[in-house]
C-alpha cells in the first residue's frame, strides 16, 4: 500500500505541472467549497437528499441528466478551445505534446459519452412517459440506478484531471497505444472504468425505455399513434441494447490486459489489436445513430408544432427510423477501410454506408414538406431545427464521400474526417438537443427561456460553427492529419487554422449566451400559465407546467395521433381534464437511497482498480452487492397518493 501511495504521489506531481493545471485545480477546489458552504448555510442538505439524491421521479432524473450534460458540454468545450488555441499558429507551444494528447482524448470521450448520451437520456426521461400517457417509467428504481451509474462513471473519468493524469490514447483507445507497455499511467484505466460504469447504466436505460414504450402506453395509443419522438426513443433503445454490450466486452478485455496480465490485444503474445477495433466500432457506429435518432424525433415534434401542420409522411418517418436502426449495424468497417480487409469486405460496407443515407434523406424531405405552406413561427426551437437542415445535408454529403472506399484512402485520418464528424454530431445531436431543450423547457420548469438572449446564442454558435469547421475540409485535402499538435509554417496551414480557431471562440461565446439566458430566465422568463405555450400537439402539452409528480390524475384514452391537437381543433379539450368521479388513489414508487449508494460503491471500486488498490476495489464491489441485497428485501417500495391529495393538487392547478 505504501508503494502504491508513493507511485500515486509521483504521478500526481508529474501531471500537475504548469499554471493551467494548478489554476484548474484551484478553481475546482473553490467550486466544491462554495457548493458545500451554500448548502450548509441555507440548511439544504436534507432537501438535497430527499428531493434529488434519492428521487425515482423520471422528471427529476431527466433534469439531473440535463444539468450534467450541459456541464459536460462546457468541460468538453473548454478542451476544444484549448486544442484550437494550440493549433491557431504554426510552431505554437501553448500546450506540450502529452497535454495535447490528453485533452483531445478527454474532449472526444466527454462529448460522445458524457454529453450526448446524458442529453438524450434527459429528453427520454422528461418527455416519453408524458407523451405515452404513463405515470412513470417501467422500472423507476432502475432508472435512478442508471443515472447514478452515469454520474459516478463521469465523475471517475473527470477526476483523472486532478488525480493521476487524464487518458492520452485517443477517445477510441486503440491497442497497442492503450496497452500497459506504451501507456503505463492510470489515465487509460480511468477511461476504461469510467466508461464501463456509465455504460452499464446506459444498457439499463435502453431496457427500461423499451419496456416503458411497449408496455405502458395509454389505452388506445397503438404503435402507429405514438408521437415520432417516442418512436425515435424506441429505435434508439433497441440499438443501445444490442450495441453497448460490444463496448462493454471490448473495455473489459482491455482492462484485463492492463491489470491482470492477459494478452487479448497484444500481438507478441498471440493477441490481436484489430479485434478491439472491430468490437469498438460495432458499438461506435450504431452509437452515432443512437445519439442522433432522438434529435430526429425532437425535430419532428418541433417542425410539426411550429408549422402548425401534421407531420408529412408519418409512416415513412417511422420506417426510416427503424431502417436506420438496422442498417447502422452494417457500416462499422468504413472506419478502417485502410486496414486491409480486402475489396469484397470494403465494397459491402461502402454500399451499406451509402444506403444509410437514404432513410436519413427521407426524414429531411418530410420535414421540408411539412414546413411547405405551413404557418411557420420562428421561435427558438424552430430556429435550431431549421439550422440543422443545411448543416446535416453537408455532413451527409461528406459522409457519402467518406463511404467511397478508394477515396477514403485520401480522406482517412485527415481533418476532412474531423470536419465531417463534427458537422453531423454538432449539427445533428447538439442542434437537436438544444432545440429539444428549448421546446420542453417550459414543461420542466414552468417558464420559457428568454428569446432575445437565445437568438444571440443561436447566431454566435451557428456562425462560429461554419467558420470553425468549413476550413477543416480544405485542411484535410491539403494533407493535415488529425491528432497533430504542432505543424511547420511552410505547409501553408496557418491561415485556415487561425480562421478555424476564431470560429471555435465564436461558438464558445454562443454557449456563454446560453448560460446567461438560463440564469436570466430563472427570474425574468415568461411564465407558462397554460401548460401549452407553443400550441403543441401531443399529450404532454395537455398537462400543467411543471407537471405534478404523478403526471396524469386520470390516465387518458387515446383515439387519434396528435391527440391534444385534435381535441383542441374540435373544442373537446375537457376530455383530457380529470373529473372528480374518475379519480382514484394513485400508486407511486417510493424514493430510495440505494441507487445513489450503488453509484458511490461503483465509484469506490473503480477508483481502486484505477490504481490497482485492491482493498478499496473489493470494498466497493462488496458495497454494490450489499445494496443489491438490501434492495432484494425491499417489498414495500410503493405508496398511495390519496384521492383527496390528487383532488387538492388538481384544484390548485385549475383543472377541477
Judgement on whether residues 12 and 97 belong to the same structural domain of the protein: no
Provide the pLDDT for residue 2.
53
Judgement on whether residues 474 and 535 belong to the same structural domain of the protein: yes
Q: Which long-range contacts (CB under 8 A, 24 or more apart) does 325-330 make?
A: 325/235, 325/236, 325/238, 325/239, 325/286, 325/289, 325/293, 327/352, 327/355, 327/356, 327/359, 328/239, 328/285, 328/286, 328/288, 328/289, 328/356, 329/242, 329/243, 329/282, 329/286
Provide the pLDDT for residue 4.
54
Judgement on whether residues 25 and 59 belong to the same structural domain of the protein: no
Judgement on whether residues 522 and 570 belong to the same structural domain of the protein: yes
Q: Is the pLDDT of residue 9 over 90?
A: no
Count of domains observed in the chain:
2
Print burial letters for 107-122: b (CB count within 10 Å at least 16), e (below 16): bbbbbbbbbbbbbbbb
Q: Is the pLDDT of residue 467 over 70?
A: yes
Tell me which H or E stretch contains 224: none
- 500, exposed or middle or buried, with CB in 10 Å at 0-12, 13-18, 19+? buried
**pLDDT grade for 431, boundaries at 50, 70 and 90:** very high
Judgement on whether residues 540 and 620 belong to the same structural domain of the protein: yes
Which of 227, 396, 423 has the alpha carbon at shortest distance from 321? Answer: 227
**pLDDT grade for 308, boundaries at 50, 70 and 90:** very high
Q: Is the pLDDT of residue 20 over 80?
A: no
Provide the pLDDT for residue 654.
87
Judgement on whether residues 31 and 120 belong to the same structural domain of the protein: no
Judgement on whether residues 103 and 13 belong to the same structural domain of the protein: no
**Arithmetic mean of pLDDT, 569-581:** 89
**Arithmetic mean of pLDDT, 236-247:** 97
List Cα–Cα distances, 535 to 17, 213, 309, 559, in angstroms.
55, 25, 11, 19
**pLDDT grade for 439, boundaries at 50, 70 and 90:** very high
**Arithmetic mean of pLDDT, 349-363:** 93
Least confident of 6-10, 117-121, 149-153, 169-173: 6-10
Provide the pLDDT for residue 27.
79
**pLDDT grade for 28, boundaries at 50, 70 and 90:** confident
What does the pLDDT look like over 54-71, one tens digit per residue?
999 999 999 999 999 999
Q: Is the pLDDT of residue 42 over 70?
A: yes
Residue 304: helix, strand or coil by DSSP?
Answer: helix
Please say which residue of 9, 28, 43 terminates a domain.
43
What is the residue-averaged pLDDT of the chain? 93
Provide the pLDDT for residue 605.
98
Range of the domain at 30: 1-43
Judgement on whether residues 174 and 243 belong to the same structural domain of the protein: yes
What does the pLDDT look like over 309-346, one tens digit per residue?
999 999 999 999 999 999 999 999 999 998 888 899 99
Q: How far apart are CA 454 and CA 460, in angstroms?
A: 10
Provide the pLDDT for residue 350.
94
**Arithmetic mean of pLDDT, 235-244:** 97
Provide the pLDDT for residue 386.
97
Judgement on whether residues 447 and 560 belong to the same structural domain of the protein: yes
**pLDDT grade for 7, boundaries at 50, 70 and 90:** low
- Name the pTM for this structure: 0.96
Judgement on whether residues 20 and 51 belong to the same structural domain of the protein: no
Three cell numbers written together for 152 = 459516478
**Arithmetic mean of pLDDT, 538-546:** 95
State the CATH number of the domain containing residue 182: 1.20.210.10
Provide the pLDDT for residue 14.
46
Judgement on whether residues 12 and 76 belong to the same structural domain of the protein: no
- The DSSP secondary structure of 182-221, one letter per residue, reads T--SSHHHHHHHHHHHHHHHHHHHHHHHHHHHHH-PPTT-
Judgement on whether residues 12 and 138 belong to the same structural domain of the protein: no
**pLDDT grade for 264, boundaries at 50, 70 and 90:** very high
**Arithmetic mean of pLDDT, 361-369:** 94
Provide the pLDDT for residue 13.
44
Amino acid at each position: 500500500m505504501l508503494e502504491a501511495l508513493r507511485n500515486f504521489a509521483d504521478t500526481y506531481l508529474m501531471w500537475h505541472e504548469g499554471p493551467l493545471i494548478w489554476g484548474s485545480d484551484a478553481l475546482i477546489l473553490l467550486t466544491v467549497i462554495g457548493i458545500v458552504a451554500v448548502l450548509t448555510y441555507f440548511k439544504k442538505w436534507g432537501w438535497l437528499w430527499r428531493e434529488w439524491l434519492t428521487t425515482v421521479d423520471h422528471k427529476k432524473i431527466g433534469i439531473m441528466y440535463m444539468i450534467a450534460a450541459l456541464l459536460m458540454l462546457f468541460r468538453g468545450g473548454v478542451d476544444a478551445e484549448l486544442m484550437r488555441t494550440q493549433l491557431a499558429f504554426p510552431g505554437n507551444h501553448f500546450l506540450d505534446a502529452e497535454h495535447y494528447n490528453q485533452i483531445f482524448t478527454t474532449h472526444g470521450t466527454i462529448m460522445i459519452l458524457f454529453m450526448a448520451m446524458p442529453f438524450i437520456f434527459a429528453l427520454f426521461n422528461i418527455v416519453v412517459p408524458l407523451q405515452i400517457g404513463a405515470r412513470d417509467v417501467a422500472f423507476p428504481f432502475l432508472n435512478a440506478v442508471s443515472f447514478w451509474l452515469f454520474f459516478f462513471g463521469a465523475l471517475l473519468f473527470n477526476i483523472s484531471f486532478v488525480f493521476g493524469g487524464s487518458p492520452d490514447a485517443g477517445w477510441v483507445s486503440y491497442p497497442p497505444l492503450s496497452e500497459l507497455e506504451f501507456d503505463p499511467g492510470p489515465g487509460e484505466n480511468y477511461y476504461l472504468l469510467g466508461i464501463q460504469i456509465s455504460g452499464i447504466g446506459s444498457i439499463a436505460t435502453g431496457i427500461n425505455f423499451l419496456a416503458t414504450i411497449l408496455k405502458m402506453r395509454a389505452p388506445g395509443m397503438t404503435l402507429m399513434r405514438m408521437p415520432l419522438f417516442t418512436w425515435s426513443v424506441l429505435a434508439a433503445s433497441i440499438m443501445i441494447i444490442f450495441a453497448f454490450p460490444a463496448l462493454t466486452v471490448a473495455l473489459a478485455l482491455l482492462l484485463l490486459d492492463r491489470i491482470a496480465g492477459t494478452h487479448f490485444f497484444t500481438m507478441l503474445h498471440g493477441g490481436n489489436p484489430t479485434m478491439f477495433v472491430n468490437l469498438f466500432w460495432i458499438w461506435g457506429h450504431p452509437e452515432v445513430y443512437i445519439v442522433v435518432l432522438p434529435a430526429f424525433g425532437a425535430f419532428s415534434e418541433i417542425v410539426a408544432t411550429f408549422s402548425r401542420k401534421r407531420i408529412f409522411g408519418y409512416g415513412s418517418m417511422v420506417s426510416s427510423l427503424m431502417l436506420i436502426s438496422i442498417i447502422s449495424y452494417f457500416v462499422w468497417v468504413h472506419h478502417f477501410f485502410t486496414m486491409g480487409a480486402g475489396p469484397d469486405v470494403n465494397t459491402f460496407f461502402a454500399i451499406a454506408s451509402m444506403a444509410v443515407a437514404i432513410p436519413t434523406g427521407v426524414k429531411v424531405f418530410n420535414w421540408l414538406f411539412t414546413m411547405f405552406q405551413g404557418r411557420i413561427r420562428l421561435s427558438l426551437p424552430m430556429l435550431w431545427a431549421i439550422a440543422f437542415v443545411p448543416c446535416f445535408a453537408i455532413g451527409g454529403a461528406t459522409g457519402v464521400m467518406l463511404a467511397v472506399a478508394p477515396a477514403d484512402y485520401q480522406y482517412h485520418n485527415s481533418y476532412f474526417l474531423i470536419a465531417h464528424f463534427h458537422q453531423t454530431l454538432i449539427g445533428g445531436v447538439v442542434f437537436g438537443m438544444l432545440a429539444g431543450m428549448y421546446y420542453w423547457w417550459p414543461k420542466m420548469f414552468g417558464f420559457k427561456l428568454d428569446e432575445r438572449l437565445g437568438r444571440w446564442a443561436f447566431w454566435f454558435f451557428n456562425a462560429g460553427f461554419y467558420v470553425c469547421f468549413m476550413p477543416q475540409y480544405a485542411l484535410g485535402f491539403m494533407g493535415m492529419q488529425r491528432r497533430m499538435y504542432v505543424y511547420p509554417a511552410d505547409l501553408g496551414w496557418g491561415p485556415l487554422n487561425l480562421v478555424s480557431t476564431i470560429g471555435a471562440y465564436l461558438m464558445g461565446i454562443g454557449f456563454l449566451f446560453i448560460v446567461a439566458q438560463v440564469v436570466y430566465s430563472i427570474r425574468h422568463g415568461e411564465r407558462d400559465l397554460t401548460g401549452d405555450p407553443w400550441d403543441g400537439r401531443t399529450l404532454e402539452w395537455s398537462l400543467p407546467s411543471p407537471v405534478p409528480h404523478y403526471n396524469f390524475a386520470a390516465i387518458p384514452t387515446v383515439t387519434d395521433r396528435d391527440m391534444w391537437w385534435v381535441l383542441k381543433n374540435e373544442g373537446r379539450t375537457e376530455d383530457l381534464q380529470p373529473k372528480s368521479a374518475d379519480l382514484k388513489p394513485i400508486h407511486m414508487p417510493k424514493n430510495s437511497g440505494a441507487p445513489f449508494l450503488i453509484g458511490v460503491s461503483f465509484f469506490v471500486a473503480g477508483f481502486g482498480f484505477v490504481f490497482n488498490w485492491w482493498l478499496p476495489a473489493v470494498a466497493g464491489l462488496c458495497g454494490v452487492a450489499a445494496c443489491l441485497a438490501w434492495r432484494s428485501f425491499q417489498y414495500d417500495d410503493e405508496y398511495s397518493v390519496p384521492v383527496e391529495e390528487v383532488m387538492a393538487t388538481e384544484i390548485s392547478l385549475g383543472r377541477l
